[in-house]
Structure 1
């Protein structure tokens, strides 16, 4: 008949001790779960569910995840929807270190492509359109997505003023509006205006920098 070995005489099991500075093991951030959540929101919208009708519970059920999985990543539904809409759009533009002319053309080109995406992707167009009826979501989107892009334009304009490429006697905001206004007109107000010309961004910036008068005072500005 076997008897249990006294606890005091058992051979201790070695427990590995993590090295100093080693990362702690815990629940990893699941890329698959995030993609499932994003896909669930897009699918619901494609099925005609409005932004105001979406909820954490509904998205979790569609994605096949628990509500806690969503709340670990987003504090509320508005924060999730902002990320979804930003994901549907082209990645935010980045400064390249090129000339002021090149940076401005790059910014307008980004907005041209964004306008094309809005026209071709019903989900994106629907989401952006519904934001106007949801003040909380629109405010969050403006703060997290639109505001940084506007500041990027201001950065380019300030550099242009410092380098003497742009007039120094004009207000920075006015210069931004004059430079970016034409593409906003086409992408937001005039939905049927053509955007398929790959040279459109350069043409717009050149027209503003060189002037549209019959006898411009200066040559082409690069």
Structure 2
């Protein structure tokens, strides 16, 4: 699967004048074309993207503030979309979030280009910072809100460190998808992780604690 094959239409913040989806698609596809040709991120300038997409630099700058922001949107569009949380229970929301991470792991494994792009992003502080601020940080905020609401609702114990709890849920999935690229990613992995961790975070019933 290539980066182009796996990507839905990009979602970018509204700014500037009204925009043409066809123009945006041409710009994104221009970036993808350069990546598939093996152009390193360090050489992926706005000028080169504009030339490849057949647009002027000003057309790109009306949509993105620079190559970091443009590149983050290209990568985000290539990834599976962020999950829509069911909101029915802590368990359901956590399973949805971890399943999204599992799907990203599967996409990264099946796309050599995307895998290479992730590696290059981490060696480019500005691009990685933009990706972290626009993609990773909002996902963590969402997870923390889910855990905070669960603590307030009594679904997990009031003494639980929510930051640590979040790492306990996300960590095993990241180990499987990133640190152990040969590890299995079975369909029920998200449910197994959530159920295992929740077992230790749920309040102890008065009946159980009396024995």
- Is this a same-fold pair by TM over 0.5? yes
What SS does the corresponding residue of 1:168 show, helix, strand or coil? coil
Equivalent pair of 1:42/1:123 in contact (CA under 8 Å): no
Report what 1:79 is aligned to: 69
Q: Where does 1:14-33 land on structure 2 (aligned, <5 Å)?
A: 28-33=18-23
Q: Where does 1:61-210 land on structure 2 (aligned, <5 Å)?
A: 61-195=51-185, 197-210=186-199
TM-score, scaled to structure 2: 0.84
Using the TM superposition, name which of 77-86 and 120-129 deviates more: 120-129
Measured against aligned partners, the alpha-carbon deviations of 1:93-114 in whole angstroms (never above 9, x if no partner) come to 2322211110011111010001
Moved segments of 4+, more than 3 Å:
none
TM-score, scaled to structure 1: 0.80
Unaligned runs of 5+ in 1: 1-26, 212-216
Higher relative contact order (CA 8 A, sep 6+): 2
- Once residues 157 and 43 of structure 2 are traced to their aligned partners in structure 1, the CA distance between those partners, rounded to angstroms, is 49
Report what 1:51 is aligned to: 41
Report what 1:21 is aligned to: none
Aligned-residue offset at 1:65: 1.0
Aligned-residue offset at 1:28: 4.1
Measured against aligned partners, the alpha-carbon deviations of 1:57-89 in whole angstroms (never above 9, x if no partner) come to 111111111111111101111111111111111
Aligned-residue offset at 1:170: 2.1
What SS does the corresponding residue of 1:92 show, helix, strand or coil? coil
- Once residues 158 and 107 of structure 1 are traced to their aligned partners in structure 2, the CA distance between those partners, rounded to angstroms, is 15
C-alpha RMSD of matched pairs (Å):
1.4
- Once residues 140 and 40 of structure 2 are traced to their aligned partners in structure 1, the CA distance between those partners, rounded to angstroms, is 28
Aligned-residue offset at 1:167: 2.0
- Once residues 170 and 82 of structure 2 are traced to their aligned partners in structure 1, the CA distance between those partners, rounded to angstroms, is 16
Equivalent pair of 1:51/1:130 in contact (CA under 8 Å): yes
Larger Rg computed on CA atoms? 1
Unaligned runs of 5+ in 2: 1-16, 206-211
- Once residues 74 and 45 of structure 2 are traced to their aligned partners in structure 1, the CA distance between those partners, rounded to angstroms, is 14
- Once residues 33 and 60 of structure 1 are traced to their aligned partners in structure 2, the CA distance between those partners, rounded to angstroms, is 11
